[in-house]
Amino acid sequence: MTTGSIDLVAGRACGGCTVCCSVMAIDKPDIQKEAGVPCRHCAQGCAIYAARPQLCRDYHCGWRQLPMLDESWRPDRSGVFVEVESLEGETTITLVLIGNPLKTVRQPWFQDFVITGVRGHVPLQLGITGPPGHQGAALPLNTSEMFEAAGVSRAKVKELLEKELKRLSAHDFPRRVIANTGHDFGAPG
């Protein structure tokens, strides 16, 4: 999860999107929620916006941060929830498929993004969500096979993406244990 002081795309707002309020597991002292369970305050936006927890104030998905993603990449429209993680000086972009994963990997715009990223040596991962209450899974896309495919054709990239998606779908999604208690935002109020 990316929070804190980050650069956001100027003029870009969440609008009617509430994807992160459902997809993510949250485990903080002032807010807990299982993955894949909508926050109970999530309606057309946040029903407690002015009083929302600090984590919610600080969090922004990749679409809010990356100018290379145009308006059509808003998570609720694209079916792709982009996560940006910075670890030991390296930034990884995870493309979490939240809508119809197979349909998404078959889209030319999605394949083009992967081709550009892989050829540009941008660390990319393909991810899917698990069942509610479970962790999702992700696989790196910067493989030599994908790099080679990116130099050949979209069709080759599509074929590999479908293969990776099949591998991800067969994952044994572990249960995500929520350690904090007392502020369960997933439960009915």
Half-sphere exposure of 107 (CA within 13 A, CB side): 15
Read out DSSP for 99-164? S-HHHHHTSHHHHHHHHHHHHTT--EEEEE--STTB--EEEES--HHHHHHHTT-HHHHHHHHHHH
In whole angstroms, the minimum distance from the beta carbon of 13 to ligand SF4 comes to 8
In whole angstroms, the minimum distance from the beta carbon of 124 to ligand SF4 comes to 18
Distance CA 21, CA 150 (A): 34
Binding of residue 18 to ligand SF4 (CB under 6 A) = yes
**Stretches 2-10, 17-25, 84-92, 136-144: which one binds ligand SF4 (CB under 6 A)?**
17-25
Among 1, 9, 17, 178, binds ligand SF4 (CB under 6 A): 17
Residues 25-44 as x/- pattern, contact with ligand SF4 by CB under 6 A? --------------x-xx--
Distance CA 171, CA 178 (A): 21
Residues 65-104 that bind ligand SF4 (CB under 6 A): 74-75, 81
Residues 160-189 as x/- pattern, contact with ligand SF4 by CB under 6 A? -------------------------x----
3-class secondary structure, 18: coil
In whole angstroms, the minimum distance from the beta carbon of 113 to ligand SF4 comes to 17
How many residues in the shown chain lie near ligand SF4 by CB under 6 A?
Answer: 21
Cα 2–chain centre separation: 11
In whole angstroms, the minimum distance from the beta carbon of 20 to ligand SF4 comes to 3
**Helix 108-119 vs helix 154-169: angle between axes, to the nearest 10 degrees?**
90
Q: Which residues bind ligand SF4 (CB under 6 A)?
A: 14, 17-21, 39, 41-42, 46, 48, 52, 56, 60-61, 63-64, 74-75, 81, 185
